[in-house]
C-alpha cells in the first residue's frame, strides 16, 4: 500500500468528485483514478461506486477513511521526527492566511523567518476562510484574526501573536468636507467604503468606551482587498475601517487622518494555528517563534517599495 494512493483517495473523498479533486490539486483525473484503482485492487474492495459520472463512497470506503487519515498523519509525524536529526532547515512549509488579512500580514511576518534558511521552501497562500480549514488544505501554519472557530480548535493548536484594532480613516481632503462629525452614524452611507468578506458585506462594529454600535456599509464601493480599499481612500472616495498597522505609515505621513479617533473596532487577536500532531516539526516550531517575536514589527513595515 503506497502513501500516494491513500492521499489520492482522501483528495477525492474531500473534494467529492474526481474532477473537483483534479482541479483543486492540479493533478490529472487519470492519475487520481489510477491511484484509487490501485488501492482498490490491493485491498480487493470497492471504495467508490461509479454511477453516471458520479462517485459514491461505499461502506468499505467510509470505513477506510478514518484509518487513511491516521496513516497520513503517522507518515507526517515520522517525517517530522527525521527532520529533528538534520542540522539545517529543509523541506516545505505551507502557510495560509485568511484573504482579508493575508496580503497585509503574511509577507511581513514570514519574510524575517526566511533569509537564513536557503533549503526551506515556503509556500504562501491567501484564501477564503472556509478553504483554510478544508480537510485537504494541508497547511502547516494558518494565520487568522479573531477567536478561532470550534471546528479549528478541535484540530489545531493555537498561539496568540498579538492584538490590533481597526480605525476609521480617510484623506485629509475628504475629512475637511465632514469636519463637523460628532458620531460615526453621521458619515454618509454612500461614503462608507465597505469590506466584503466572502459573500457578505461586513458592517462596521465600533466601540467608544462602553458604547458599542453596528453600522451598515452598503455604500458606493465595496472591495474584498484592503489594498484596493486603501487606493479608494487615496482617491478621496470616503471613509474606511482598516487595521491600524496597515495605515500607520499613511497616518504618520499625513496622507490619511483618523475620523472620530475615539471610535475603533474592538481589540482583535491574531493567532497562528498549526495541526496538533505537527508540533514536533522543527520547521513549524521555528516559524511560530519567528512570527510571534516579529509581530510588533508589522507596525513599522514599509508596505511600499519606494517613497513618493
> Are 24 and 69 in the same domain?
yes
Dihedral sign, CA of 232, 234, 239, 241? Answer: positive
Q: What is the pLDDT of residues 37-54, one digit of tens each?
A: 998 888 998 999 887 767
How far apart are alpha carbons 55 and 49 in whole angstroms?
A: 6
Q: Are residues 189 and 229 in the same domain?
A: yes
Residue 131: give its domain's CATH number: 3.40.190.10
Q: Does residue 287 share a domain with residue 143?
A: yes
Residue 118 sits in the same domain as residue 186: no
Same domain, yes or no, for 55 and 95? Answer: no
What pTM does this model have?
Answer: 0.71
From 83, 117, 150, the end of a domain falls on 83
32 and 42 belong to one structural domain: yes
The whole-number average pLDDT for the span 84-98 is 82
Residues 113-133 pLDDT 10s: 988 899 999 999 888 777 888
Q: Which 8-state DSSP code applies to residue 239?
A: B
Number of separate domains in the chain? 3
Parallel/antiparallel/unpaired status of strands 211-215 and 204-208? antiparallel
| pLDDT band at residue 304 using 50, 70 and 90 as cut-offs | low
Q: Select from 46, 48, 37, 45 the least CA-distant residue to 5.
A: 37
**Domain C-terminal end among 83, 102, 121:** 83
Mean per-residue pLDDT of the chain: 86
Is the domain of 223 the same as that of 254? yes
Could you tell me if 96 and 240 lie in one domain?
Answer: no
Of 50, 66, 83, the residue at which a domain comes to its end is 83
Which residues are paired to 166 by β-bridges? Answer: 243
Give domain status of residue 306, yes or no: no
Write out the residue range of the structural domain in which residue 14 sits. 3-83
pLDDT in tens, 226-250: 888 999 999 999 999 999 988 888 9
Q: Do 33 and 114 fall into the same domain?
A: no
The three three-digit cell numbers of residue 33, written as one number = 483514478
Amino acid at each position: 500500500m503506497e502513501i500516494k494512493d491513500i492521499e489520492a483517495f482522501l483528495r477525492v473523498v474531500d473534494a467529492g468528485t474526481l474532477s473537483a479533486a483534479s482541479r483543486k490539486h492540479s493533478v490529472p483525473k487519470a492519475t487520481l483514478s489510477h491511484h484509487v484503482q490501485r488501492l482498490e485492487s490491493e485491498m480487493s474492495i470497492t471504495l467508490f461506486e461509479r454511477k453516471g459520472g458520479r462517485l459514491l463512497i461505499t461502506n468499505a470506503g467510509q470505513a477506510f477513511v478514518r484509518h487513511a487519515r491516521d496513516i497520513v498523519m503517522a507518515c507526517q509525524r515520522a517525517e517530522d521526527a527525521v527532520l529533528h536529526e538534520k542540522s539545517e532547515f529543509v523541506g516545505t512549509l505551507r502557510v495560509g492566511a485568511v484573504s482579508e488579512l493575508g496580503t497585509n500580514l503574511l509577507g511581513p511576518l514570514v519574510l524575517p523567518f526566511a533569509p537564513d534558511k536557503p533549503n526551506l521552501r515556503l509556500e504562501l497562500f491567501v484564501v477564503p476562510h472556509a478553504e483554510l480549514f478544508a480537510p485537504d488544505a494541508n497547511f502547516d501554519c494558518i494565520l487568522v484574526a479573531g477567536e478561532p472557530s470550534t471546528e479549528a480548535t478541535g484540530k489545531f493548536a493555537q498561539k496568540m501573536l498579538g492584538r490590533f484594532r481597526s480605525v476609521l480613516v480617510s484623506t485629509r481632503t475628504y475629512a475637511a468636507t465632514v469636519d463637523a462629525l460628532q458620531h460615526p452614524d453621521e458619515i454618509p452611507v454612500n461614503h462608507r467604503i465597505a469590506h466584503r468578506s466572502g459573500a457578505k458585506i461586513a458592517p462596521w462594529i465600533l466601540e467608544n468606551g462602553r458604547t458599542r454600535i453596528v453600522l451598515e456599509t452598503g455604500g458606493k464601493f465595496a472591495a474584498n482587498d484592503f489594498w484596493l480599499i486603501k487606493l479608494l481612500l487615496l482617491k478621496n472616495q470616503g471613509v474606511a475601517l482598516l487595521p491600524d498597522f496597515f495605515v500607520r505609515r499613511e497616518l504618520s505621513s499625513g496622507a490619511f487622518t483618523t475620523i472620530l479617533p475615539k471610535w475603533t473596532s474592538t481589540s482583535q487577536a491574531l493567532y497562528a494555528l498549526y495541526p496538533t500532531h505537527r508540533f514536533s516539526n522543527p520547521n513549524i516550531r521555528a516559524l511560530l517563534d519567528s512570527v510571534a517575536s516579529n509581530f510588533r514589527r508589522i507596525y513599522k513595515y514599509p508596505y511600499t517599495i519606494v517613497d513618493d
